[in-house]
Amino acid sequence: MTNQNATAVAAPAAAFRALHAPGSPLVLPNAWDVASARVVRAAGARAVATTSAGLAWALGTADGDRLTRERALAAVAAIVAAVDVPVTADIESGYAREAAGVADTVRAVVDAGAVGVNIEDSRYGAGEPLRPVAEQCERIAAARGAADAAGVALFVNARVDTWLRGVGDGPDARLALTLERAAAFLAAGADGVFVPGAVDPATVEALVEGIDGPVNVLAGPGAPTVAELAGLGVARVSVGSGIAQAAHALVRRAATELLTEGTYGALAGGLDYGELNELFGG
């Protein structure tokens, strides 16, 4: 990591941090490549967040700690270079087995020009679905330490996957476990907490009240509106791989219609060629 890179990232990192305001949430339509990032920015996004799943799929790899650090962060660097707003990177569980490797990843994130990271506590393969709290705290502390050593106020968003992985014996136990993990992760150096899968208004309100930091909600069809989430005190709203999934669904609909019916109805409503080309300086 060079001092020049760290200096260049410091100002946008501070700006990104300031966008997390409970009751006036930062809204992030997640992108997965340069094209989607440019479109999201043109739509008015104040920052761009990557989706690890969408990014992995675009690179021909399944999500879930299968993508290499080098390929992921090369894609992040390209997105950073393509937009004029802060970029936060979903780095899955850190693209590393050990905490020291997570620190290496964060140094690479800063070099890529991103100003935030999501770090999840899920683990894949055999064993428990979530990392032990102490182990995850060590990984978060490593990320925090690497960013601080670079002089960058990187926003570390700690993802708690209790809802996503169905951990906890019933809603009350799951909420208690989530709050316990969130408190530990914040103490380890996280700046915010992301609990994907929790969208019920009463649950979201309990998370906001019980977490001493900005709360990120993963929204989508059936979730409360952004305005409703704002009223509950949410500080950040993102949609994860949702837009990428919708885009790929359109590809399948259009391809299936063309190959089976020989018609083109699914292509209606597409963005104008000239408008898209203009986004890339055409």
- 1: its two tokens: 């990591």
**Fold annotation for 3-240:** TIM Barrel (3.20.20)
pLDDT of residue 29: 98
Is 214 within 8 Å of 192 (Cβ atoms)?
A: yes
* Residue recorded with tokens 């760290």: 6
Amino acid in the structure at residue 107: R
C-alpha span between 99 and 133 (Å, rounded): 13
Quote the percentage of the chain above a pLDDT of 70.
Answer: 98
C-alpha span between 4 and 274 (Å, rounded): 37
Using pLDDT thresholds of 50, 70 and 90, give the confidence band for residue 2: low
Amino acid in the structure at residue 189: G
DSSP for the chain reads: --HHHHHHHHHHHHHHHHT--TTS-EEE--B-SHHHHHHHHHTT-SSEEB-HHHHHHHTT--SSS-S-HHHHHHHHHHHHHH-SS-EEEE-TT-SSSSHHHHHHHHHHHHHHT--EEEEE-B--SSS-SB--HHHHHHHHHHHHHHHHHHT---EEEEE--TTTTT-SSSHHHHHHHHHHHHHHHHHHT-SEEE-TT---HHHHHHHHHH-SS-EEEE--TTSPPHHHHHHTT--EEE-TTHHHHHHHHHHHHHHHHHHHT---GGGTTPPPHHHHHHHTT-
Average pLDDT for the chain: 96
How large is the C-alpha radius of gyration of the chain?
Answer: 19
C-alpha span between 129 and 29 (Å, rounded): 27
pLDDT of residue 1 exceeding 60, the answer is: no
pLDDT of residue 4: 67
pLDDT of residue 233 exceeding 70, the answer is: yes
Segment 132-158, tens digit of pLDDT: 999 999 999 999 999 999 999 999 999
pLDDT of residue 38: 97
In this prediction, residues 247-265 reach a mean pLDDT of 98
Segment 13-34, tens digit of pLDDT: 999 999 999 999 999 999 999 9
pTM of the predicted model as reported, rounded to 2 decimal places:
0.95
In this prediction, residues 170-180 reach a mean pLDDT of 96
pLDDT of residue 3 exceeding 70, the answer is: no
Q: Where are the domains of the chain?
A: 3-240, 241-282
Amino acid in the structure at residue 98: E
pLDDT, greater one: 208 or 6: 208
- 256: its two tokens: 């299936």
Segment 86-128, tens digit of pLDDT: 999 999 999 999 999 999 999 999 999 999 999 999 998 878 9
φ, ψ at 49 (rounded to 5°): -115, 140
pLDDT of residue 124: 87
- 81: its two tokens: 């270079």
Count the alpha carbons within 13 Å of 232 in the hemisphere toward its beta carbon.
Answer: 26
